[in-house]
Chain A
Amino acid sequence: MDLINQLEQLFPPKQLFTKKSQLVAYETDGLTSFRSEPLAVVVPETHDQVIETVRLCHKAGVPFMARGSGTSLSGGSMPVEGGVVITLNRLNKILKLDPENRFAVVEAGTVNLKVSQAAAPHRLYYAPDPSSQQICTIGGNLAFNSGGAHCLKYGMTANHVLGIKAVLADGEVAELGGESADTVGPDAAGFFCGNEGLFGVALEVTLRLTPQPQRYCTLLAAYDSLEKAGHAVSAVVDSGMLPGAMEIMDKLSIKAAETAVNAGYPQDAAALLIVELEGEIEAVEEDFKTLRGLIDTTGAYETRVAQDDAERMTIWKGRKSAFSAVGRLSPDYLVQDGVVPRSRLAEALVKIENYSKEYGLDVANVFHAGDGNLHPLIMFNGKEEGALHHAEELAGKILSMCVEMGGSITGEHGVGMEKKKYMPQMFNETDMECMKRVRRAIDPLEIANRGKMFPGGEAPALTTHGAHPLEKAGIISRE
């Protein structure tokens, strides 16, 4: 009996798609330049259906890929050609919420924001906040070790995952970690995070919940050069403060955001810096006084302080909409997320500007300055022959620059399909070989998300498809 027949026995027709017309919706993820057609898509409603699907795939030697909401920006959730897509959206129950011990157990298909919403009555929240959080799933976050605007202080997804129940690529069910925020023995749950779907499928995840800060203090500073804003970030860090978020937007993104959402940003600024402090009221207010004094010395020509929650939201609205807003200036764009040491931010930005001139392509910058995580947005016209390729080359230059400066090719979007050829710039042959050995120990047939993260393998043809459908619909925006 072939795999499709076996899947037909496992799933009722409404949970199994094999027709071309049904598969089309699953051909791509947030990196719309890559597409490929799966053999089948299954929509399990029970853990056993997931486990059984993985076991069948393993027996048949057919690749499979777990899929959350398909918002990956690196091609991580683009199907393996001819493989099975296991969609987890229906496994979306919050199984347990324990406010006193500050954790929640959720199914992997649970949407990120739902966790914070469920925890809110207890004045708790789930800290990692990728700007796709209204739609992306905890399973996807876990696989990519996703971040957001608050990573410097709170860390990435792996810092908030306490336990995982998963089916490994050969069908074995693993229970990693537990309910404690401390660990004993190797941090297996932590290691499972960031595996990019190569170890298997997470079914249930135990998440640490964080107390909501008593107070936020948010400030917006305008500069006449990007460099000054970059130096201001270093000044804040050197002062011994630990802001919850520090974000920078450049001229192009300010303009785009302003046109899109009217955040009231100073229009003539070459760079905007947002700094947000959060925590216990008295402590935050004291720090904020220091911060304001400090910003005055960094050459900001205008400083605004959010007086209430509404003003704070307005400042953030512009920031959060910036990428989709830039998307309106140019329907086709690539977003990179390399990391540089924070003290070299200003230098990195100047280099990017030079590359932009050299390639004749506009690059907008909106980024997590606090942790040196760049998000250059490379605009191009997909209708022009070779334009995508040209833009990709520029993206590659930026990634190489990040590695040369001692940083990373990805801060939060993952390697996926898109950046796998740059992995050897960061890791030498021995490092890569070691990772491959670990992978084969978990997945001897290399069927879990085959063709991702490691260089080589067949790359599907590049095409241009513009913004993610959800972005076009205005539901989510890039950060």
Chain B
Amino acid sequence: MGQPIETPTSIDDLISQVKSLSEVIPRGSGTKPSLWESSETTTLIDTRQLSSIVEYQPSEYTITVQAGTLLSEVVEALAENGQYLPFDPPMAEEGATVGGTVAAGLSGPGAYRYGPLKDFIIGVRFVDGIGNFVRGGGKVVKNAAGFDFPKLFNGSLGRLGILTEVSFKVFPEPQSYVTLQTQCESHQEALKILPIVKGYDLEGVELDNQLNLQMRLGFQEATMDVRKQGLESLINKDLSLTFGEPERAVWKSIKGFNWAQDNRSLFKVATHPHSALKFLNAIQLENWTLHLSNGGKSLYLSGPADDDITSLDETLKSQKLTGLQIKGPVDSHPLIGNTSSIPFINRVQKALDPENRFLTFSPTTSEVAS
């Protein structure tokens, strides 16, 4: 029962497994089941044995790790040197791997400050669909040579190649944080606050299902008070302040998707503040929980696992928004809504996987017909 699993312990292993199997999908720790659960004819390739920090020189602002490395290890190694992954990947505490995070294209709340994962991935190595071991990008922070495979693999869903190594650009982390919190009356009200705070170098802006708006500031001790007062006067609302351990707990919980219960589905939609609002106004979701992340650039939704998602899919399509199912039952095509990029990606996939070993991004014509 269940899907067969292979666990490569070396690149050579991985190459020969890919070559000998007819249908494969890589998996890290399995924290995002909708991205790997598939039929019994698809072999899971567990990448967790390909795990190590390959190269890390803090003064270069870069780190290179094997794809099966746990995010938590990377986060820790960086923290020892006062650095961090500025895209602030989620689910590190839950055991997510680097490869799985890249393939899912997931960033956390901290992406508000400097940008999402795609802005920090500078190099990849991967095994393509015919067992070639390929390198794209490089290990230096700036590089314009060759096609940008690192960008392509952001969100590749394990369907363009099996990542074995990833290089990131990293940044120094703020010395400490405070979080300002305020209760909003509606999404509309919260979204009005967002443009007002845009000139501030915030490290995160999140709006949860209870309409709590959390704004995170990274700082040096000396400037905290004056920065907080500046923000208060700007929003003209009472703000409560947390710091220290409780503050960290707030963000840990956001990154762990603690608000979305385990037995329910989880979706992410790429938005901007207004498209998120428009979408929320258009859709009826009984029993669903919403979380507006990254200053309104990502919307997360969680609902009963067995809910029909047809109307979700259709509303997304009509508003030209794209969604990704992260948890919950899926028919092996976790992308929903607008898929206008997919015909182009399908052509790239054909080049990287001419023998169709990887799963497709959207139902093929024959699948639709049957």
Contacts and interface: CB of A to CB of B under 8 A. Distances in A.
B157 A186 contact: yes
Given A102-B198, A147-B144, A434 B270 contact: no
A238 to B, nearest CB: 5
B297 A372 contact: no
Contacts of A194: 144, 146-148
Given A187-B155, A441-B351, A411 B142 contact: yes
B352 A426 contact: no
A279 B201 CA distance: 7
B61 A280 contact: no
B115 A184 contact: no
A10 interface: no
A199 B105 CA distance: 23
B359 to A, nearest CB: 13
- Give the one of B145, B294, B347, B352 with max A CB within 10 A: B145
B143 A410 contact: yes
Contacts of A188: 152, 341, 344-345
Contact of B148 (A158, A180, A441): A158
Contacts of B223: 282-283, 286
B199 A185 contact: no
Interface string B326-348: 00000000010011111111011
B144 A145 contact: yes
Interface in B312-326: 320-324
A101 interface: yes
A183 interface: yes
Nearest to B55: A406
Contacts of B347: 441-442
A229 B31 CA distance: 47
Nearest to B269: A184
A276 to B, nearest CB: 16
B166 interface: no
A185 B322 contact: yes
Given A100-B274, A175-B341, A184-B268, A283 B147 contact: no
Interface string B55-76: 0011111000000000000000
B357 interface: no
B272 A283 contact: no
A186 B354 CA distance: 18
B157 A185 contact: yes
A237 B141 contact: no
Nearest to A287: B220
If over half of B's interface residues share one DSSP class (helix, strand or loop), that class is named, otherwise mixed; here it is: mixed
Given A238-B58, A240-B82, A426 B146 contact: yes
Contacts of A144: 144
Contacts of A442: 344, 347-348
Say which size band chain B's interface belongs to.
35 or more
Nearest to B61: A237
A237 B273 contact: no
A280 B231 CA distance: 12
A152 interface: yes
B270 A100 contact: no
Contacts of B200: 280
B330 to A, nearest CB: 14
Nearest to A101: B272
A133 interface: no
A413 to B, nearest CB: 7
Contacts of A414: 144
Interface in B93-145: 105, 107, 111, 114-116, 118-119, 128, 132-136, 138-145
Interface residues of A, number: 93
- Give the one of A145, A168, A183, A195 with max B CB within 10 A: A183
Interface in A167-221: 168, 172, 174-195, 211-212, 214
Nearest to B114: A153
A189 B271 CA distance: 16
Interface string B293-324: 01001100000000000000000000011111
B199 A155 contact: no
B147 A438 contact: yes
Contacts of B338: 178
A283 B253 CA distance: 27
Contacts of A189: 341
A297 interface: no
A4 interface: no
A438 to B, nearest CB: 4
B115 A155 contact: yes
Contacts of B230: 282
Contacts of A371: 140-142
Interface string B155-171: 11100100000000001
B151 interface: yes
B335 A185 contact: yes
A427 interface: yes
Contacts of B82: 240
A423 B145 contact: yes
Given A341-B60, A343-B57, A426-B146, A214 B115 contact: no
Contact of B119 (A159, A175, A340): A159
Interface string A135-173: 000000000111100011101101100000000100010
Contacts of A427: 135, 145-146
B195 interface: yes
24 contacts: A101-B273, A153-B114, A158-B151, A174-B340, A182-B107, A182-B116, A184-B269, A185-B105, A186-B152, A186-B156, A187-B105, A187-B155, A188-B341, A283-B220, A342-B59, A343-B59, A371-B142, A372-B142, A406-B139, A407-B138, A427-B145, A431-B136, A434-B128, A441-B348
Interface of B: 57-61, 82, 105, 107, 111, 114-116, 118-119, 128, 132-136, 138-149, 151-157, 160, 171-172, 195, 198-201, 219-220, 222-223, 226-227, 230, 268-275, 294, 297-298, 320-324, 335, 338-345, 347-348, 350-352, 354, 361
Interface of A: 98-103, 123, 144-147, 151-153, 155-156, 158-159, 168, 172, 174-195, 211-212, 214, 234, 237-238, 240-242, 279-280, 282-283, 286-287, 339-343, 368, 371-373, 406-415, 419, 423, 426-428, 430-431, 433-435, 437-442, 453
Given A159-B119, A179-B272, A181-B116, 12 more contacts: A181-B297, A185-B339, A191-B152, A193-B151, A194-B148, A240-B172, A280-B199, A282-B230, A342-B60, A407-B140, A412-B144, A453-B146
Query: Across chains A and B, which 7 residue pairs bring their CB atoms closest together, nearest first?
Result: A190-B151, A441-B351, A180-B270, A101-B272, A188-B341, A240-B172, A408-B143
